[in-house]
Amino acid sequence: MDQGVNKPLVLLSLLMILVLGACTLAGSGIKVNPGAPSTAGVSLQPGTPASHLPAAKLTIFAAASLTDAFQAIGKEYETAHPGVVVDFSFAGSQILRTQLEQGATADVIAFADQKNMASLVSDGLVSADASHDFVTNQMVVILPPGNPGGLQSLIDLARPGLKLVLADASVPAGTYARQILEKMSNDPTFGADFSTRVMANIVSNETDVRQVVTKVELGEADAGIVYTSDLEASPDLLTIPIPRQYNVTAQYPIAILRSSPNPELAAEFVNYVTSSEGGSILSQWGFSPVR
């Protein structure tokens, strides 16, 4: 037969060897680092070492904007609780909510808005009194280094031809961004059609807020609207602040799921997140802890 047919097979076997090698490394207790989490919507921790089984595993579902802060908190928590392994799944809140509704198992859930939590409460997945807000966040306009779109102020967002990236309307950050544009449209300075004109500049509705950050960081878009906390992990971005009267305050709720396999550990994790230690990590990553 044709020699070309075997090429993919060779490649496949090479890949398999690589994967097997990685598994062996993980099995012998060497930690394999997952590749650049900022570009991926969902980032999972590497497998647990098989040589010494952990006492327990905690699974945390958290809004994409919490990625860096929660990874830092997870490390601290693991150090303080030897034998406990914390696994994270980061994605847009709406994706996590859907996964839980479709039967995914997790111990703790942290969303970037109230709507998704309310939906889990009404589905009976979270007790009505189990959820409470632990941080707040604000929005900001981000521009790539060098400002290729030449934006000087917020009003430039409506300039025709500008490439704007927002989170999809189903994503909390996308809803907040649209609320801000609506508020600005009510101000005569911007004009009643401001929101419509800005929305006409959207070139992509991303599935989580971190994808918006990535697209702007790469310079593919001229501007995006994201959380102020997102700036901590991306210091090269230029910003245009959104004044208080137009901005929104995102309230982040955290809760233990009713089906949590480890409710005690889950409670300890939530306590740690809401403690002063947890709060200082969250502040470092640009969130305002709720006291």
Partner 1 sequence: MKLSSPPFRRTKNHDLPGWEFILPSLVLLSLIGLPVVALVWRSVGINILSFAVSASAVNALKLSLLTSTISVIVSLITGTPLAYVQAHWRFRGKAVIDLLVDLPVVLPPSVAGIALLMAFGRGGILGGTLESIGITIPFTTTAVVMAQVFVSAPFLVRSARIGFSAIDHQLEEAATVEGASNWHIFRHIMLPLAGRALVTGIILCWTRALGEFGATLLFAGNLEGKTQTMPLAIYVGFEQGLGIALFLSLILLAVSLVLLTLVRRLER
| Nearest distance in Å: CB 114, partner 1 | 16
Residues from 230 through 289 that contact partner 1 (CB under 8 A): none
Q: Spell out the residues 6+ positions from residue 138 whose beta carbon is closer than 8 angstroms to its own.
A: 227, 228, 242, 247, 248, 249, 250
SS3 149: coil
Which of left, alpha, beta for 128 (phi over 0: left; psi -120 to 50: alpha)?
alpha
What separation in angstroms does the CA of 83 have from each of 93, 273, 284? 29, 19, 27
The answer to whether residue 202 forms part of the interface with partner 1 (CB under 8 A) is yes
The answer to whether residue 17 forms part of the interface with partner 1 (CB under 8 A) is no
User: Using CB under 8 A, which of 165, 250, 254, 256 touches partner 1?
Assistant: 165
The answer to whether residue 215 forms part of the interface with partner 1 (CB under 8 A) is yes
User: Using CB under 8 A, which of 38, 114, 136, 205 touches partner 1?
Assistant: 205
Q: What is the DSSP string of 109-147?
A: EE-SSHHHHHHHHHTTSS-TTT-EEEEEE-EEEEE-TT-
Applying CB under 8 A, the span of 22-30, 52-60, 94-102, 237-245 interacting with partner 1 comes to: 94-102
Applying CB under 8 A, the span of 54-62, 105-113, 135-143, 219-227 interacting with partner 1 comes to: 219-227
The answer to whether residue 103 forms part of the interface with partner 1 (CB under 8 A) is no
Dihedral of the alpha carbons of 26, 269, 90, 93, in degrees to the nearest 10:
160
Pick 144 or 253: Cβ nearer partner 1 = 144
Q: Measuring CA to CA, which residue among 117, 222, 207, 121 is closest to residue 171?
A: 207
How are beta strands 223-227 and 202-206 bridged, if at all? Answer: unpaired
Pick 76 or 220: Cβ nearer partner 1 = 220
What separation in angstroms does the CA of 166 have from each of 112, 202, 224, 291? 15, 7, 6, 30
User: Using CB under 8 A, which of 80, 132, 203, 280 touches partner 1?
Assistant: 203
The answer to whether residue 12 forms part of the interface with partner 1 (CB under 8 A) is yes
Applying CB under 8 A, the span of 106-114, 124-132, 152-160, 214-222 interacting with partner 1 comes to: 214-222
| Nearest distance in Å: CB 214, partner 1 | 9
Pick 53 or 218: Cβ nearer partner 1 = 218
The answer to whether residue 148 forms part of the interface with partner 1 (CB under 8 A) is yes
Which chain residues interact with partner 1 by CB under 8 A?
Answer: 1-5, 7-8, 11-12, 15, 39-40, 92, 94-95, 97-98, 144, 148, 163, 165, 168, 170, 202-207, 215, 218-221
